[in-house]
């Protein structure tokens, strides 16, 4: 049986751990705030007292943390306890420079590592329906196959170049940021013109410009239900990484700058810990 350690049990990490457990894998979890990890014991996980303890017997170690600094800090604590044959799956969204730092850290400590950010939010994480964007040595694929199959509807192996998964994740998240802001603008515009904003969703429903995401986030904006699946402040962090990537690629940052501006307004109004749909308060 594959043994998996999940370091970081926020919205995504907890969901991933539950999907691993549901498929019968041996799962140990750890979180800097222990209260977020303890509920997973009821699902069958072993709750470790430290990152080093969590990884000691793991075949696969998954990091799912907010950004690069906690990722490296946690792995610095855990590195000495990793088995020689363990594979580190770095699933946090840390951007291009962050992934370079992951690669350097792994090389320094002799750790086998895969870059594997995921597409999906709370429900896909808990239901094993994520899309895993993996990159790194193909020789490591078999070792992580069981864990990836448990967590994801599919795995897209982007390339053998570590970091290409994260590059693709930024391209996808750039689209998500634009889409959720486009929905927010149309909802706000309809409302500001004295219309019931539901009329906007009804007008596009079933058309080429519709998408499940349009209906999902649009309804949340109309009802004011911002139960977080992807926190707005997390989108701000990712948008900053996207702007850095656009600059490195020589691609205009104009649209990402506008997205960042509206997210910042909504966050400053007190919506940072709510779902990204709360960006409607930036319009």
Q: What are the catalytic residues?
A: 169
Tokens 């509807």, residue? 153
- 3-state SS assignment for residue 59: coil
Distances (CA, A) of 108 to 60, 112, 149, 163, 178: 19, 11, 29, 17, 38
Interstrand relation of 152-159 and 26-30 (parallel, antiparallel or unpaired): unpaired
Q: Are 279 and 262 in contact (CB under 8 A)?
A: yes
The 3-state DSSP composition of the chain as helix, strand, coil percent (nearest 5) reads: 60, 15, 25
Half-sphere exposure for 140 (CA within 13 Å, toward CB): 26
d(CA 26, CA 52): 17
């Amino acid at each position: 049986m594959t043994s998996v350690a999940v370091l970081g049990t926020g919205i995504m990490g907890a969901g991933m751990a539950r999907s691993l457990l549901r498929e019968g894998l041996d799962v140990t979890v750890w979180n800097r705030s222990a209260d977020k990890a303890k509920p997973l014991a009821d699902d069958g996980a072993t709750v470790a007292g430290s990152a080093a303890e969590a990884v000691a017997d793991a075949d696969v170690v998954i990091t799912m943390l907010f950004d690069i600094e906690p990722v490296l800090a946690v792995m610095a604590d855990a590195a000495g306890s990793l088995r020689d044959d363990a594979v580190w799956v770095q699933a946090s969204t840390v951007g291009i420079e962050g992934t370079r730092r992951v690669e350097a850290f792994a090389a320094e400590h002799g750790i086998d590592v895969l870059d594997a950010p995921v597409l999906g939010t709370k429900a896909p994480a808990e239901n094993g329906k994520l899309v895993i964007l993996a990159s790194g040595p193909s020789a490591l694929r078999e070792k992580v196959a069981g864990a990836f199959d448990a967590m994801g509807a599919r795995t897209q192996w982007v390339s053998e170049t570590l970091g290409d998964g994260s590059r693709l994740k930024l391209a996808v998240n750039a689209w998500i940021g634009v889409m959720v802001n486009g929905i927010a603008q149309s909802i706000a515009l309809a409302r500001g013109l004295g219309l019931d904003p539901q009329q906007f969703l009804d007008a596009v429903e079933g058309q080429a410009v519709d998408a499940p995401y349009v209906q999902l986030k649009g309804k949340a904006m109309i009802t004011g239900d911002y139960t977080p699946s992807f926190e707005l402040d997390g989108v701000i962090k990712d948008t900053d990484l996207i702007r850095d990537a656009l600059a490195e690629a020589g691609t205009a940052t104009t649209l990402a700058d506008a997205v960042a501006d509206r997210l910042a307004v909504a966050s400053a109004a007190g919506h940072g810990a709510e779902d990204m749909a709360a960006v409607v308060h930036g319009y």
